[in-house]
Amino acid sequence: MQETIPAGLDRKEAEAYQRLDPARLPKHIAIIMDGNGRWARRRHLPRIAGHRAGVAAVRSTVETAARIKIPALTLYAFSEENWKKRPRSEVEFLMGLLCRYLKQEVPTLNKNNIRLEYIGRQHELPPVVQQKMEWARQATAQNSGMVLTLALNYSARTELVDAFRSLVDAASRNGGLNHLQIDEESVSRNLYTRHLPDLDFVIRTSGEMRLSNFLLWQLAYAEIHVTPTLWPEFRGVHLLESIADYQKRERRYGGLTTDGHSPSRVSRS
């Protein structure tokens, strides 16, 4: 089906890519990276070893997504619940890991023309982490290829609360609540993801069938793929295989199927 293989794919990735239709790649993929702890437990290692191993999966997935020209990739790195409920030592390790990742990865992000962004309540993170995040964001701001968005201290419900608050604040600054206008457009424009295209596809690793408070508004019409692969074992080739699954689906957005069935006869889009 495919003639030109993007530069930089390894043999397995090239084989998987050849099974894809390059005209129907998702424009925005989000990944719930899960299973670091289980990966470590199976090896009798501490949980942090799983997070450390997860960085290699991030690197491989990001590079492959950029090589095949996915416009936007969003990774759920750290939820608000992780931040508030995990042991302090694990949270501190994750913060350190993030800072090291940003420092090491900026040259590669630039080489691959990737722009870095964040979603989540950044201002609640430790100042030193915020500074490193801002440094990496600015260091990649000129890139025009894929947007890599890291969800850090992120919660979808908090995002909606923040969006409604900013709508109300804007109305009270501009003539009062009589001027408050709330519709789908204005809510979308006030979400953390306003810089991103609509979400087409979400992948969750490690087999759990949950959305875990991730991009709940944006997921309205997204396709979902759950793989048993634990995050530290996930690589670019798994991303390509997931996209092959995405391309088997027929997206209907609540309309009719191509053979004229109403969505009530088949599962709802």
* Strand ranges (E), the chain: 28-32, 72-79, 115-119, 147-154, 201-204, 223-226
Closest CA to 52 of 101, 17, 124: 101
Closest CA to 216 of 153, 155, 268: 155
Answer yes or no whether residue 38 interacts with ligand FPP by CB under 6 A: yes
- Cβ-based nearer residue to ligand FPP, 15 or 134: 134
Active site annotation includes 34: yes
Question: In the bound complex, what is the minimum distance in angstroms from residue 242's beta carbon to ligand FPP?
Answer: 16
Q: Assign residue 254 a region (left: φ > 0; alpha: ψ between -120 and 50; beta: otherwise).
A: left
Give the interface segment with ligand FPP, choosing from 2-10, 14-22, 76-84, 128-136 (CB under 6 A): 76-84
Closest CA to 205 of 185, 231, 224, 187: 231
Answer yes or no whether residue 236 interacts with ligand FPP by CB under 6 A: no
Active site annotation includes 82: yes
Answer yes or no whether residue 120 interacts with ligand FPP by CB under 6 A: no
Residue 179: Cβ-neighbour burial (10 angstroms; 0-12, 13-18, 19+): exposed
Site for ligand FPP in 170-209 (CB under 6 A): 206
Report the residue from 9, 20, 31, 34 that binds ligand FPP according to the rule CB under 6 A: 34
Position closest to ligand FPP via CB: 37
Site for ligand FPP in 202-221 (CB under 6 A): 206
Distance CA 216, CA 204 (A): 14
Residues in the chain: 269
- Cβ-based nearer residue to ligand FPP, 20 or 119: 119
Answer yes or no whether residue 36 interacts with ligand FPP by CB under 6 A: yes
Q: Is the dihedral of CA 27, 32, 213, 151 positive or negative?
A: negative
Answer yes or no whether residue 98 interacts with ligand FPP by CB under 6 A: yes
Residue 263: Cβ-neighbour burial (10 angstroms; 0-12, 13-18, 19+): middle
Answer yes or no whether residue 61 interacts with ligand FPP by CB under 6 A: no
Report the residue from 14, 97, 216, 244 that binds ligand FPP according to the rule CB under 6 A: 97
Share of the chain residues as helix, strand and coil, in percent rounded to the nearest 5 = 50, 15, 35
Report the residue from 51, 67, 115, 132 that binds ligand FPP according to the rule CB under 6 A: 51
Answer yes or no whether residue 77 interacts with ligand FPP by CB under 6 A: yes
Q: Which of 82, 143, 153, 190 is catalytic?
A: 82
Answer yes or no whether residue 163 interacts with ligand FPP by CB under 6 A: no
Answer yes or no whether residue 101 interacts with ligand FPP by CB under 6 A: yes
Binding region for ligand FPP (CB under 6 A) = 33-38, 51, 54-55, 58, 75, 77-78, 82, 97-98, 101, 150, 206, 231
Active-site residue list: 34, 82
